[in-house]
A and B are shown apart, each in its own frame.
Chain A
Amino acid sequence: MDVQIWTYIIVGLSFALYIGIAVWSRASSTKDFYVAGGGVHPLANGMATAADWMSAASFISMAGIISFMGYDGSVYLMGWTGGYVLLALLLAPYLRKFGKFTVPDFIGDRYYSNAARTVAVICAIFISFTYVAGQMRGVGVVFSRFLEVPVEWGVIIGMFIVFFYAVLGGMKGITYTQVAQFCVLIFAYMVPAIFIALQLTDTLLPQLGFMGTLKDGSFLLDKLDGLHQELGFAAYTSGSKDVFDVFCITAALMIGTAGLPHVIVRFFTVPRVKDARTSAGYALIFIAILYTTAPAIAAFARTNLIDTVSDKPYDTMPEWFSKWESTGLITYDDKNNDGKIQYLGDAANNELQIDRDIMVLANPEIAQLPNWVIALVAAGGLAAALSTAAGLLLVISTAVSHDLIKKQLAPNISEGKELMWARMAAGAAVIVAGYFGINPPGFVAQVVAFAFGLAAASFFPAIVLGIFYKRMNKEGAIAGMVIGLLFTMSYIIYFKFIFSSADAADHWWLGVSPEGIGAVGMAINFVVSIIISAFTPAPPAEIQDMVEDIRYPRGAAKEVEVH
């Protein structure tokens, strides 16, 4: 059977599964809609968190980026996993004990202020939309290549599916769909990786193949370093970026991970404080399966790619080459008219341009794996993009229905009305996200990287100080969030949108790239918060008691039953 039919079958089956789960687990109360009833098993929550977390950027773009950047790509590997240590140790158990529904809930109650709540709502909506735009572009890329429909139609199909289970099921529907999506995406990621590890290194586990030897007895990474240097690229295992910038990018990604509202809310859905800690651990195990495989795929794909194309006649290129050429993601320009492909580090003589996003998607074809594996990768990419999009849309919809309408505009609203607002907000958010998918503002991973900077500079300090510093008051927290966010946003917008021609190390402040500036924004937030709070009145006694109370696990389960 050809790839096309396999793709229709496998993608179709996976979509039917998601819709079936959504119907089975639809939400009937606001508590179901916001926190899946608060009774999710930590293991299921770990899987859902992993799917929620691993987006189109993790699945489609990350290995490709590492493949092209070598050591410099490590910032994503460490950054997008290290944040879970912060989440597990500094945030998850306390937010679970706090026992409400959303991140703005915590900010609003802890800082006894609707102004603080509103700042948090704006941050949450802004971050989620920045991030969801990247997901929808991911859906478009996968559909246009594998279902051979126009990108617009791909996005619309994706919107329809997400609309169905996010609007119907809320957090409850999303949670159990995400468990299924995790299984699909991790299977789809591992199968080709294992095949290729066997082909190249005779090792079953890609993680070990990465450190292993090739058929000719040389170490994979040594061979790759050699190939790179021969062709004029920097050695694969050594970086070309400034150490301080690498430090800042990693920090911004880690802290951003811990501050992203769609990840934090997942820890509101388990029954006990203890479960919040454990499920952070499960989540990281499930994430680590993919994240320790990604560098292996990156190295395998890079070696395979160079072997296949470098200095080979253009006429002998395999079928995948021309397929991707037709999407414009591979371009070849025979500069010296010798009919061969010169793939070189030096831009003046290099004849081949390859979009980094295709590395994972094209990898099974490059390694000549069976057609069903190629179809499986398409289903996995869609699962990754859709699960994250759903999690983000839920944050947007609860920010509107719970934090804006219920908590501020109409406190006496009935539960049925609130649920209706939540569904309408989710519907509206899907449409806005779809618009971004059809008119994408940038590349998948780049756009996602901004969301991290913004989350790092706004939420993380406010929540950590709220838990660990009893004296922290509303004036300090609001000033910190606003200044941290404005600083980070202006820096990113300045270099990415206004003077993108100046986006180079010589112009950056202290040598920090826009990707790493969130770490500086976070530091500014901490300093501003602490200084302002020192000069303004201490928080009321009942708030200090609340902070005292969230530090001890006992009573968390009871807390939820009240609501």
Chain B
Amino acid sequence: MNQNNHKRYWKRNLLYLIILLSIWFVVSFGCGILLADQLNQFHIGGAKLGFWFAQQGSIYVFVILIFVYVVLMNRLDRKFDVDEE
């Protein structure tokens, strides 16, 4: 595989990281901490929204983020022919 291809693979990987880690930051530090008071005006079931993000919601999003990353990277590995099969 040539150098140019390597660079493109790595750039795409970094782009995925930036997007996924931004979501990670927004749901935990954003919704759960910095904006918790504002979000607490809304409710999900019997829980205030900011409180819910801090105690449960962010964890659900974390799990989804890792699996989205797995799918994206497996696809990327195959596309750039750097996978292990």
Contact = CB atoms under 8 A, between A and B. Distances in A.
B74 A274 contact: yes
Contacts of A277: 66, 69-70, 73-74
A77 B55 contact: yes
A135 interface: no
Interface string B31-52: 0111011001000111110011
Nearest to B17: A89
A270 B84 CA distance: 13
A243 interface: yes
Interface in B66-85: 66-67, 69-70, 73-74, 77, 82-84
Contacts of B24: 82, 85-86
A116 interface: no
Interface string B9-47: 110010001001100100011001110110010001111
Nearest to B66: A281
A222 interface: yes
Nearest to B81: A554
Interface in A41-76: 66, 71, 73-74
Given A237-B48, A292-B60, A85 B29 contact: no
A90 B60 CA distance: 20
Which of B13, B48, B59 has the largest number of chain A CB atoms within 10 A?
B59
Contacts of B66: 84-85, 88-89, 277, 280-281, 284
A164 B73 CA distance: 40
Contacts of B40: 237-238
Interface string A265-281: 00000001110011011
Interface string A340-355: 0000000000000000
Contacts, number: 140
Contacts of A238: 37, 40, 51
B29 A250 contact: yes
A22 interface: no
A413 interface: no
A212 B46 CA distance: 6
A143 B13 CA distance: 48
Given A82-B28, A552-B9, A552-B82, A292 B48 contact: no
Interface size class of B (residues with CB under 8 A): 35 or more
Given A278-B70, A280-B66, A78 B60 contact: no
Contacts of A278: 70
Contact of B32 (A74, A272, A291): A74
Interface size class of A (residues with CB under 8 A): 35 or more
A273 B84 contact: yes
Given A77-B55, A221-B46, A247 B62 contact: no
Nearest to B47: A211
Contact of B46 (A82, A84, A86, A211): A211
Which of A71, A85, A281, A556 has the largest number of chain B CB atoms within 10 A?
A85
A495 B84 CA distance: 50
A274 B83 contact: yes
Contact of A85 (B47, B65, B77, B82): B65
B31 to A, nearest CB: 10
A548 B6 contact: yes
Nearest to A251: B29
A239 B34 CA distance: 12
A78 B48 contact: no
B84 A556 contact: yes
Contact of B70 (A86, A281, A554, A556): A281
Given A74-B32, A222-B46, A247-B33, A288 B77 contact: no
A557 B10 CA distance: 20
A207 B17 contact: no
Nearest to A222: B46
Nearest to B29: A247
Given A82-B28, A211-B46, A284 B62 contact: yes
A210 B56 contact: yes
B48 A281 contact: no
Interface in A287-310: 288, 291-292, 295
Nearest to B3: A548
Contacts of A88: 66, 69-70
Interface in A531-563: 548, 551-557
B17 A90 contact: yes
22 contacts: A71-B36, A77-B54, A77-B59, A78-B54, A82-B58, A85-B62, A88-B69, A207-B56, A212-B45, A213-B46, A219-B47, A221-B48, A238-B40, A250-B29, A280-B66, A281-B63, A281-B66, A281-B69, A288-B59, A288-B63, A295-B55, A548-B6
Given A71-B51, A78-B32, A288-B63, 16 more contacts: A81-B59, A85-B20, A88-B66, A210-B56, A243-B34, A250-B32, A250-B33, A251-B29, A274-B83, A274-B84, A277-B73, A278-B70, A295-B56, A551-B6, A553-B84, A554-B83
